[in-house]
Every structure is written in structure tokens, then in C-alpha cells.
Chain A
Amino acid sequence: MTSAGEPLVTPAPRPYALVAELTYRCPLACAYCSNPLELGDASTELDTATWGRVFREAAELGVLQVNLSGGEPLARSDLEALVAEARASELYVNLITSGIPADAARLERLTRAGLDSLQLSVQDTDAGGAAWIAGRDANESKLRTAATARSLGLPLTLNVVLHRGNIARVPAFVALAEELGATRLELANTQYLGWALENRAALLPSRSALEEARRVAREAAERLRGRIEVLFVLPDYYADLPRACMDGWARRYLVVTPNGLALPCHQATSITTLEWQNVREHALPAIWHESPAFRAFRGEDWLPEPCRSCERRAIDFGGCRCQALALTGDVTATDPACVHAPRHDLVVAARLRADAGSEPVPEAPRPLLKLRRRAAG
């Protein structure tokens, strides 16, 4: 029984960032893409006015930052209008882009519309490596996009997803960030969900390669302090303790997919036992506060053992739900990334296979990857 005056439901925390996945259309086909395995087509994408409403509702919920993401957001012909809508809601607007196509006039229009910062993905400094992981090498286009961003005074973040094929080139990524005048460098290891899980055997690095990359990143962070913020994110598989995925389920982040599903993380549609609501039918605040799916794993009340009695329960909230489901088949299980998880053996086995494999050398043929499918335009 609840005593009078006490709220029946713990108030939902405040979301600070909205990831607006504007489209699944993309010129690249990265083998670790965070988009779902099943992609819709462009005809089901939300229109400009609906995104405008989503931005207003997000701001009303407390969101301060929006990442215009995808797929490739430049594929949306109304991107200028979307940037202006987001700015009208006082959001800090980050464009998350592959830098394809490099279109200086368009970037200038986006900047005039109120774009605050640009995050450019870099797959690899080695052209063969880039083509291997993304289906094509687009570095020339990326470099031109970076130069345009700099000339427009747009703050530049470089984002590199690390894996077995490029992790030895962390020094080159640091040098590139310096050369391009980036203010932030994200060296984020692949997390093995969705497409990346399909390709795990080819992508998971050995422990020694990972440790060396981490050492280089740490040195760079120290040396570049105050100039470039260098971020290094471990793969869950080597972290021993789980990440608070998205800072905790439905706690700080909101994702809206191209066709309007509101999610607590990019991968959440892999959890098919939850019913995902659409912003076409429900207001965002209602989804955030009341939808059963957002409440399913929020906070600590749902936690299984050994999480429930763990002192880290309010730090990592049991880790990643999508990873627990993908590896154990049980969405409520402790994330197998955790050393205390009953099924940590699954992660250990994958690591042992990664350590047993030989390090890739540039002249050797690269293993075949399952590249992301193209979204129909």
C-alpha cells in the first residue's frame, strides 16, 4: 500500500540529450553500424513538422542537446529546416555525419540555420581499411568536410569506432585530429550488438592491441588537455564491469528512430517483448514518463541478483539490456560483460578467440564482413 500523498510512481529522471535518427539512408555500410538489422524505407520517415514537434516536446522534458544522426542526416533535403527547428527550441545542435557528400555551400546554410557543432566519423586513415569496414573509402570527402567546418568556425569532433582492423592506428587518428583542428576526439571501441555482433569474430581486438591503444589515447589526452578532449571508450567485452548503458535505461537519453519510435537506446528495438510507442501517436513526455517500455528497466527495482545486492547497482544499473538479451536470451539477466554475471563465460570465450587470432597486417587479405544493408530510398 502507498500512503496518501506519496507518489505511486517514482518520478522519471530528466533526459538531457535527444538522439534524432533522421534517416537510415547512408552512403556507407559500416559492419558495426548501430542501426537495426531491419531497416525501414525512406517513405516512412517522419516529416519536418513532426520532428519540429519532437524537438519542442524534448525541450519541454528538459533536453538540452540534440544529435541529428542517422544513417546520414545530410540525406534529408529538409536538414536546414530541422536545424532551425531544433535551435528554435533552444537545443544545442550537433550534426553527426559521415561527411558525404562534402558540400561546402550546404554546410554554410546549416551553420546559418543554427548548427552548433559537427561530428565527423572517420572509419580508418588507411584507404583499404576504410573500404573494408564501410564498403567504400570516402576519406577525401571527409577531409574536405572537416576543412569546410573549420573555415565556417564550426567546432569539430572526430569520431572513430575502433576494432581489430584499425586499433593499431590510434596514433594516426590522434595526429589527424590535431591536423584538422578538432576540439574533441572520440575513440570509441565497437560494442558488440546488432551488425557488430554479426561480425564479432573479425572485429574484436586482442587484449594487447587494446591496451596499447588505450596507452596511446591516455598520453594524447594528457598532452592535448585544454585543446582536444580525447575520449577512449573500452569495449564492454574487456571492461570486466559493465557500462551504465546510455547512463542507465531511460535516465539521460532519448532516441527517436526515422519512423518515429521513441527508444531509450539505439538498439532497443532488438527487445521485441517490449512495445515501442511512436511519436506520431503519443507525445514524447507521455512516452518518457508513462510508457511501460521506458519504465521496464528504469532505476534499480527490477534488478536481478547478483546486481540487486551489488554495491555498483546505482552505478551501472545491471549493464546493457540489449547485450544481456543478445548473449543470454534473457533481457533481465545481468550483462555478461560483468565479471559477476552468471554468464560471463560467454564474454571470456569471445576474448580468448580474439587473443588466439593473429593480428591483421595490411598486406594480408582481410576477413569478409557482413556489411550493413542499404535502406531503400
Chain B
Amino acid sequence: MIDAKARVRLAARVRLRFDRRSGKVVLLYPERGLELNESGARIAELCVETRGVGELIELVAARVSDAPRAVIERDVLDFLNALDARGLLEVTRS
């Protein structure tokens, strides 16, 4: 499982792009695609560069001022773990 001490980045095979048809950000990888909701898109876009998960949570929290910090932290970790289970993240665990 990914925790706040890990560093993460989207895997090389992932491409993020805006999909005009759905108005959503899609995450593409070989033979597959995921349509991201607003919160997923926000997190994924921050993972284009390598970041510490703690920093990532801070950045998301700064942009979403109306949600409790604990909820944001859980959302970020859930999303990252879902990507990791599909092999879509490069994770460095300290």
C-alpha cells in the first residue's frame, strides 16, 4: 500500500489528455482508458512529475478548501492505490 512517505509518478505508458466529447480528463494506456472524475483528474495531473505523497496531499488540500483534510488524504491514497494496482504508477517507497 502507498502511504504518505512514498514518492509517486505516473508510469511512462500513461498519457493524460482532455476528451472533448465527455468534457473529462482521460488516462490512456495500452488498449485501455479510464475516464477520470474531477478529483481523480486533479490528482493525476499532479503526478505527471515525481512527488512525495505528503506534498501531493498538501497541494490537493490547497485547491479543495471545502473538504476536511482527513477526507482529502483518504481520497488521494485510495486513488493512488487504485492506479498502482493497475501498474499505472512508479512508486518509490522510502
From A125-133, A209-217, A224-232, A317-325, give the one contacting chain B: A224-232
B33 and A65 contact, CB distance less than 8 A: yes
A183 and B85 contact, CB distance less than 8 A: no
With contacts defined as CB atoms under 8 Å apart, how many contacts are there between chain A and chain B in the complex? 52
- Shortest CB distance A189–B (Å): 17
Query: Which residues of chain B are near A117, meaning CB under 8 Å?
Result: 13, 29-30
| Set A62, A65, A183: member contacting B28, Cβ < 8 A | A65
User: Is the contact region of chain A dominated by helix, strand, or loop, or is it mixed?
Assistant: loop
- Shortest CB distance B2–A (Å): 11
- A124 to B15 Cα, complex, angstroms: 31
A183 and B13 contact, CB distance less than 8 A: yes
- Shortest CB distance A73–B (Å): 16
Query: Which residues of chain B are near A17, meaning CB under 8 Å?
Result: 31
| Most chain A beta-carbon neighbours within 10 Å: one of B11, B26, B28 | B28
Query: Which residues of chain A are near B19, meaning CB under 8 Å?
Result: 62, 64
A184 and B17 contact, CB distance less than 8 A: no
A184 and B21 contact, CB distance less than 8 A: no
Q: How large is the interface on A (under 10, 10 to 19, 20 to 34, 35 or more residues)?
A: 20 to 34
B30 and A183 contact, CB distance less than 8 A: yes
> A106 at interface (Cβ–Cβ under 8 A)?
no
A228 and B87 contact, CB distance less than 8 A: yes
Q: Which of B52-91 contact A (CB under 8 A)?
A: 84-87
- Shortest CB distance A224–B (Å): 9
B21 and A155 contact, CB distance less than 8 A: no
Q: Which of A95-129 contact B (CB under 8 A)?
A: 116-117, 119
Query: Given known contacts A92-B15, A117-B13, is B87 in contact with A64 (CB within 8 Å)?
Result: no
| Set B13, B84, B85, B87: member contacting A116, Cβ < 8 A | B13
Interface string of A153-168 (1 = CB under 8 A from B): 1010100000000000
A229 and B33 contact, CB distance less than 8 A: no
- Shortest CB distance B29–A (Å): 7
- A63 to B86 Cα, complex, angstroms: 22
Q: Which of B8-38 contact A (CB under 8 A)?
A: 11-13, 15, 17, 19, 21, 26, 28-31, 33
Query: Given known contacts A116-B15, A226-B84, A226-B86, is B21 in contact with A94 (CB within 8 Å)?
Result: no
A184 and B33 contact, CB distance less than 8 A: no
- Shortest CB distance B45–A (Å): 16
Query: Which residues of chain B are near A90, meaning CB under 8 Å?
Result: 17
Query: Which residues of chain A are near B11, meaning CB under 8 Å?
Result: 155, 183
> A14 at interface (Cβ–Cβ under 8 A)?
yes
- Shortest CB distance B28–A (Å): 4
> A16 at interface (Cβ–Cβ under 8 A)?
yes
Given A226-B86, A227-B87, 15 more pairs with CB closer than 8 A: A14-B21, A64-B28, A64-B33, A92-B29, A92-B33, A94-B30, A94-B31, A116-B13, A119-B30, A153-B12, A155-B11, A183-B13, A183-B30, A183-B87, A225-B87
Residues of A within 8 A of B (CB): 14, 16-17, 62, 64-65, 90, 92, 94, 116-117, 119, 153, 155, 157, 183-184, 225-229
| Interface CB pairs A-B, < 8 A, 5 | A64-B33, A92-B28, A94-B30, A183-B13, A229-B86
